[in-house]
Amino acid sequence: METIINKSKLELVRGNIEAQNTDAIVNSARSDLGPDSGVAGAIHRAAGPGLWEEVQRLNGCTTGEAKITAGHNLKAKYVIHTVGPVFGNTTNDSMILASSYEQCLRLASQFKIESVSFPSISTGIFGYPVDEASEIALRTVINYLTRHPEINLVRFVLLSQKDYKTYEATLQYLLKKAK
């Protein structure tokens, strides 16, 4: 599914984040930005050992922030790393999750990145319910794109059909609500 926001394309696809050919991909990471299971592990395996060497020099990342590295062996030129909230750890989970998306997009703008692929941040082992997370993610991205047409494409890459359908329903809801 795709739609146009301002002059930018917002796309939902099923697939693997590490295989995307956008200028940047987003790594939903732990605070040490290291290889793990899930998205972070897949990205680190595909990027090769140079990514781990580079992220170690960043001294980690706090929850809700983002940092950028080279893509190493990935198709993407950059990896934007963010640490989303563990669901239920604070009363500000939704604000922190929105901040993760916003900070990634700010880095994309700062580095003149025209296309970026996101996974569904915090919905894996961090336990954020996909229905809630999808609304926060999509609302944050839509709001950013309405003010920042320099990003030509934001793609959400969803691994499961269930997550794709949830994001699709949420996007349709938000678009109807905006009319």
Q: Give pLDDT, residue 75.
A: 97
pLDDT of residue 35: 86
Beta-bridge mates of residue 131: none
Which tokens hold the place of 16? 């693997």
What domains sit in the chain, N to C, each tagged with a CATH number? 2-178 (3.40.220.10)
Residue length, the chain?
A: 179
> Which tokens sit at 21?
């050919």
Cα 174 to chain centroid distance, Å, stands at 19
- Helical H segments across the chain, by residue range: 38-47, 49-56, 93-110, 130-147, 161-178
What are the mean pLDDT values of the chain's consecutive 10-residue runs (179 residues total)? Answer: 95 96 96 86 95 94 97 98 92 96 98 98 94 98 96 97 98 90
Question: The pTM is what?
Answer: 0.96
Residue 174: predicted pLDDT: 96
Q: What is the predicted pLDDT for the residue at 91?
A: 86
